[in-house]
Amino acid sequence: MENQFNNITNNSSSSIEASNQFSNKKTNRLDSFVSISELQEEAKKLLPKMAYDYYASGSNDQITLAENENAFNRIKLVPRSLVDVSKVNTRTKLFGRDISTPILIAPWAMQKMASQRGEIDTVEASKEFNTIMTLSSLSTTSVEDLSNASNGNPGWFQLYVFKDRKISEELVKRAESIGFTALVLTVDTPFLGKRTADFKNSFKLPNGLSLKIFERLMLSNLDGGLNQYFATMIDPSLTWNDLKWLKSITKLPILVKGIMCPKDAELALQYGADGIIVSNHGGRQLDTCPSTIEVLPYISKVVQGKVPLILDGGIRRGTDVLKALAYGANAVCIGRPIIWGLSSGGKDGVLKVLSLLNSELQLAMALTGINKVSDVNNSIIWDQNKYIKL
Ligand SMILES: Cc1cc2nc3c(=O)[nH]c(=O)nc-3n(C[C@H](O)[C@H](O)[C@H](O)COP(=O)(O)O)c2cc1C
Ligand SMILES: CC(C)CC(=O)C(=O)O
């Protein structure tokens, strides 16, 4: 039991052990962390305040930020007994690709504030674990460097659409030509949410770092503040019709990220989205909107398995992943857990987070009598109304 659930049980475990041989000291230190919250504490100790605050913050009073996690804790799982769970497996398939876990890496900006190699560390870890990373439009590594570091298999590319459509078009074509296999169109950010800490800290990228996608455009300085920068560059007039435009310039599947309203899920399907990501941007956009897990069942009812459905926001335990799958998600993305892993130990730290959460998921599956991801359904969620007549 100990071995089965505390070790990484996917086909990448041997290479992870091999890479650890070369960084024994770091690995031993990482071994002592047993939860995402402990890694967050470590990251807080290691990061400059301005970077930690930028990564950790939500918008306004951070009600939704907290609610994303709290809502998971209110959902109860049903333990099941005497089911043969000797061969629990977290492998699954997404857009035809076999992956070792339904836990994917969400796009998050400016990773070189967390580790020297930033996005390169993250993509190497995602490859080694056989999962999918989405690169942010606002990354500190170029799409080309990320593609090279991953031998032409960098994962998915997240798109913020620029006011100058030609820039976006060129970016999409570049990403497509160098091996990205899907586009993630973020639709919850016509303007950036109000993150109080960033204003107080006068957030800017540390000297020596820049947003690589824009470097050529001489727009890499963030002195006016993130919100002003975002408002200058990104197009707030984007509408559903632009999804048609995007489909006309690429052959890649397009996932729409930031869906929180069932009506918008309907529109996303109507306008041809190939996948839907239920997300409130980690509580960083509209504060006091519901948690993502709360709205997931309603969106799942609209989507009805027509396209892959992914959830992000507040996942800190393997039991949270299981609850999202039970409510209809095919996979989840994690943002801050990866940030804390990368900040605490670079590539090994990201691997630590993936293996920690995946082994928790595997254990939770065993304790609810589930052997494979496709067998998860809402019968594992405690609902007293179901049992009231017994
Ligand atoms: C520091 C930070 C930067 C982010 N940058 C982006 C981004 O560039 N593009 C994007 O679509 N989402 C971005 N997100 C949102 C994440 O993709 C994801 O929706 C969110 O982090 C999920 O919540 P979690 O952090 O609780 O897992 C960012 C989130 C954080 C915390
Ligand atoms: C640089 C930001 C615009 C990236 C982002 O989406 C975020 O911080 O939430």
pLDDT tens digit sequence for 186-221? 999 999 999 999 999 999 888 888 888 766 654 545
Averaged pLDDT, 62-67: 98
| Arithmetic mean of pLDDT over the chain | 91
pLDDT at 85 over 60: yes
Q: Are strands 92-94 and 97-99 parallel, antiparallel or unpaired?
A: antiparallel
Ligand 1 binding pocket, CB closer than 6 Å: 54-55, 68, 106-109, 136, 138, 158, 186, 257, 279, 281-282, 284, 312-315, 334-336
What phi and psi, each to the nearest 5 degrees, are found at residue 309?
Answer: -120, 125
Q: Which residues, at least 6 apart from 222, have a Cβ–Cβ distance to it below 8 Å?
A: 203, 204, 205, 211, 229
pLDDT at 16 over 80: no
Cα 280 to averaged position of ligand 1 atoms, centre (Å) = 9
Smallest-distance ligand from the CA of 310? 1
pLDDT at 15 over 50: no
Torsion of CA 267, 272, 275, 276, to 10 degrees: -10
Smallest-distance ligand from the CA of 65? 1
Give tens-digit pLDDT for 339-383. 999 999 999 999 999 999 999 999 999 999 999 999 999 999 999
Length of the chain: 390
Q: What is the pLDDT of residue 22?
A: 40
Which atom of ligand 2 sits closest to the CA of residue 284?
A: 9
Axis-axis angle for helices 336-367, 36-46 (nearest 10): 170
Return the best residue to mutate from 108, 134, 186 for the ligand 1 pocket (most ligand atoms within 8 A of CB).
108
Cα 157 to averaged position of ligand 1 atoms, centre (Å) = 13
Q: What is the pTM of this model?
A: 0.93
Give tens-digit pLDDT for 246-302. 999 999 999 999 999 999 999 999 999 999 999 999 999 999 999 999 999 999 999
Q: How far apart are CA 233 and CA 222, in angstroms?
A: 12
pLDDT at 17 over 50: no
List of long-range contacts for 384-390, beta carbons under 8 Å, 24+ apart: none
Tokens 């006016």 found at: 224
Q: How far, in whole angstroms, is CA 265 from its chain's centroid?
A: 19
18-42: burial string, b at 16+ Cβ within 10 Å, e else = ebbeeeeebbeebeebeebeebbeb
Q: How far apart are CA 22 and CA 24, in angstroms?
A: 6
Task: Residue 140: count other Cβ atoms within 10 Å of its Cβ.
Answer: 25
Structure tokens that stand for 357 in this block:
């959460």
